Structure 1
């Protein structure tokens, strides 16, 4: 049976039985981490139907790692090489490739995580449209940063992420089997084909940061709920580092893309005005903290975000 026929069947029945799944991996200059992650996918008790690796112009030995993996024939591996379009551009390209090939589900993965052997099986057993695997660190501590409360209603909430899975539950054992989350990371997020058909693709214009959170908001706006699956274990190989230099190039994208989320999805006029207020506050406080570089960054970010109020055309639902 073709993937197209299977997609039609599952969208009609709503059952998870027999669905095909493609894994989409984005990588850039982390060949050794990528190799470990691919080992983890090869060890899954539920074998994926395809593994699509988008290589964002890696300059290390990533091409050799991928060539060796193809030669081993233990994974149905497809490699897409492109210019470095960031994580957002990579996931856009990979999800579109998986959609065009007709897969029923798409599982998004970064190159610095390794799924436990039963991770994919645990996800595929859940008959829901949007799921996430739950992350832990190398010591087994819960480090799932997906928000259980992502507030785009309160204009006084400077950061919309109000509570996370790992701030709500002490450990994995204390979680229920399914936990509803409001945003996601593209590290273990799974979506059905019907989500892409209605919501569209990751927005490549984000480059890095908040592309995943913005996609989750779009999905939830269609009435879908997103579930963290306790028994789907994903192990991060690196420590979380969510503190970035706001005066550097990453700071520009963090400010700009946070502003875009508010401008696009803020639930009232005051929330949609928050980016302007944040910009003003950063500029006024720059002599005391951040300095001129951060002030320039936030001004550039606000100017750029104004031009991104609408979803990028290539991210819109397929026609």
Structure 2
């Protein structure tokens, strides 16, 4: 079923009005316009409200949160809204990507439940970091992402039309409502980082396959910068949420033990690495991750 399906775009934004404006212009220039554009404004303090007031996208809906819900909370709210309004497909994206004009047409032509547009940078280089291998079985894998589209293929023209992937980013991920029926909504408790990974793992474990679509082009406006200060507030969420993924979905006891081992190693090495703030973060992250071990229910309320 592809011919008459409806689709809503869900965008989450916070204090990046200029990027958001560029992205909304890109959505308005699509060959196949979405049936709705649902923007969750996470209590932005810049001129985001003015950008949204001036936007002319057909079907634009703005949900302004009283508080910053984080990306995870924003996508939870946006997907819940799109699902409640009955759309057949939901296309998730951040405010720092711009789709090529044919991107949505290409995705909608694919009769698959879970799809991912493939990202490139503004120079046209492939930068799709979705995992082709996400290993939650091998306790010796320091990081579970052991392969990704970018490193497996190097350039878009070396990709086949479809590449099966094992995790996604909420920058171009599309799913049918059947996926939400089966696994529920994105988990808002992540706040930032790994909410998209969690959703992909849940989808795959429910029997869905996820495909990166070579010819669905999404242009990322910013360089990737994942080298966050592990002693800062983002470091806490990176540790906590990585631990949660292992505790929830680790396929054996040794993999589920890895967060404890990482915590011990960071704490033991902190005096020589000068990482006392990181040690405090990782201890707090391990404590809080234990309270998030339960997999979210399938509720869409």
TM range (shorter): over 0.9
Q: TM-score, normalised by structure 2?
A: 0.98
- 2:234 aligns with one of 250, 274, 283: 250
Contact 1:198 1:317 in 2 (8 A): no
Shift of 1:318: 2.9
Gaps of 5+ in 2: none
2:5 maps to 1:16: no
Shift of 1:75: 2.0
Contact 1:203 1:311 in 2 (8 A): no
Partner of 2:263: 279
2:73 maps to 1:93: no
Contact 2:73 2:188 in 1 (8 A): yes
Partner of 1:12: none
Shift of 1:291: 1.4
2:37 maps to 1:75: no
Contact 1:25 1:91 in 2 (8 A): yes
Q: Secondary structure at the match of 2:214?
A: strand
Contact 1:92 1:202 in 2 (8 A): yes
Contact 2:97 2:220 in 1 (8 A): yes
Shift of 1:312: 4.4
Partner of 1:173: 157
CA deviation profile, 1:210-263 (whole Å, cap 9, x unmatched): 000010000000111100000000000000001110000000000000000000
2:21 maps to 1:38: no
Q: Secondary structure at the match of 1:109?
A: strand
Shift of 1:41: 0.4
Partner of 1:151: 135
Q: Secondary structure at the match of 2:282?
A: helix
Contact 2:164 2:212 in 1 (8 A): yes
Moved over 6 A (4+): none
Contact 1:134 1:144 in 2 (8 A): yes
Shift of 1:288: 2.2
Shift of 1:287: 1.4
Partner of 2:12: 26
Shift of 1:17: 1.6
Q: How does 1:141-290 map to 2 (within 5 A)?
A: 141-290=125-274
Q: Secondary structure at the match of 1:154?
A: coil
Q: Output the CA distance in 2 between the equivalents of 1:39 and 1:22.
A: 16
Shift of 1:311: 3.0
Number of residue-to-residue matches in the alignment: 300
Partner of 1:127: 111
- 1:307 aligns with one of 270, 291, 301: 291
Partner of 2:121: 137
Q: Output the CA distance in 1 between the equivalents of 2:114 and 2:14.
A: 26
Q: Output the CA distance in 2 between the equivalents of 1:182 and 1:190.
A: 14
Contact 2:240 2:288 in 1 (8 A): yes
Q: How big is the alpha-carbon RMSD for the aligned residues of Structure 1 and Structure 2?
A: 0.9
Gaps of 5+ in 1: 1-14
Contact 1:205 1:312 in 2 (8 A): no
Shift of 1:22: 0.2
Shift of 1:139: 0.3
